[in-house]
Amino acid sequence: MSAVAPEPEAAARAREWGVLSLALALSAALSWARIEFNEIYRPGALENVAGIDPRGAAEPFAHRVLVPRTIRFIVENLAPFATPLAVFRVFDALFVFAAFLATRRLGRETLGSRERGDGAGWRLFPLLGVHYVLSREYPFWYAWDMASVAVFAWGLVFLRRGAWAAYYPLFVLGTFNRETTCFLTFAFLFTRFGSMPRTKLALHCAAQLLLWLAVKWWLRELFRRQPGDVYQSVWRENAESLADPAMWRWYLMAFGGLWLVLPFVWHRIADRWLRAVVCIVPFFALGMFFAGVWSELRIWGELVPVVLLAVLAGLLPREPPAATNAAFRTQ
C-alpha cells in the first residue's frame, strides 16, 4: 500500500484557518449563551458583583481585578464609544478561544497524535457549555470565569514545556484574575517531582508561593474597606448538599459525567506528565469544599481541560510511551 501523500502547505494553511475560524465562532457563541441564558446579576453584573468597577464589589470578588480593570481602562481611555458589556463580550470569546488552543496543544502532546489533540479541543466546547450554560442550580456568570480556564490551561502548557519566562508572568497575571492559580503550583510540584533536583523544585515552589501571597496581600490592602470577607467557609452548605439526593443531579452533570470515569482509567494514562497533573483534582475539590459551593459548576472550570484530556487518554488505545512523552522536558 502506498503512503498517503502529505497535504500541500497551502491547503494545510487554509484548513487551519478554517478550523480556527470555526473555533472562534463557537467561542463567541458559548460566551454569548452563558451571559444571555444566565440572567442573574444582569444587567448590573459587570459593573457590580462581577466587578468592572471593583470598588463596587464585595470581597473576595473585588480581588479579581484583571479582566474588570482591563475593560475599564479600554472603555475610559481607548474606546469611550463602547459599552463595558460590548468590550467584555469580545474579551470573553477570546478567552474561550485561548482555552481551546491550549487544550488542543496539550492534547497533541499528551494523547499521542495531532488528530487526538484536535478532537480534545473540539470536545472542550460542550463541556464548558455544561458548566456555564446548562447548569442552573447557581446560574451566575462572572467576568473572570473564562479567563480562569484560559489562564490555567496555558499555565499547564508552559509548565509542561518548562517555559518559565512565559509561565511566571502568566502566573502573576492569573492571580489577579482568580486565586486558583495556586493549584498550578501543585501541578508544578507533582509533575516535576523526581525529574527536577529537589532544591531547584523547592525554590520554584517557594517563588510561586511568595508571588501568590504578594498579589493577595496587595489586593487585600487595596480593598480592605470593601464589605464582605476575603474567605467565607461554605463546608456546611456543601455537606448538606451532598446529603440531599436531589442535589446530585448537578454533581453528576459536572464535566459531562467524565469525573465518574476518571478513577477507573487514570492508571491507563500513558503520558506520565498528564497522569501527575490529574493528582491536583482531589486537592482542588478539597479546597473548594471549604471555599466554593460544589453544586455551582462554574467553580470547576479550571479542571475541565484536565479531566477531559485525562479521560480521553485513559479511554483511547495506548500510544507508545516515547510518542506521548516526547515533548515533556525536565528543566
What mean pLDDT do residues 4-18 have? 80
Query: Residue 286: CB partners within 8 Å, gap ≥ 6?
Result: none
pLDDT tens figures, 223-271: 776 655 655 778 999 999 999 999 999 999 999 999 999 999 999 999 9
Tell me which residue has cell 456546611.
Answer: 236
d(Cα 286, Cα 235) in Å, to the nearest integer?
10
Q: Supply the pLDDT for residue 233.
A: 78
Closest CA to 215 of 260, 271, 170: 170
Residue 228 β-bridge partners: 59
Of the two residues 230 and 121, the one the predictor is more confident about is 121
Average pLDDT over the chain, rounded to an integer: 87
In degrees and rounded to multiples of 5, residue 228 shows phi and psi of: 90, 180
Q: What is the DSSP letter of 316?
A: S
Closest CA to 276 of 325, 208, 319: 325
Q: How many CB atoms lie within 10 A of CB 7?
A: 11
d(Cα 30, Cα 131) in Å, to the nearest integer?
11
pLDDT tens figures, 52-111: 444 556 666 778 889 888 888 888 899 989 888 888 899 999 999 999 999 999 999 999
Cell of 179: 486565586
What mean pLDDT do residues 5-28 have? 88
147 alpha carbon, distance to own chain's centre: 7
Query: What pTM value is reported for the model?
Result: 0.90
What mean pLDDT do residues 267-292 have? 96
pLDDT reading at 50 higher than 50: no
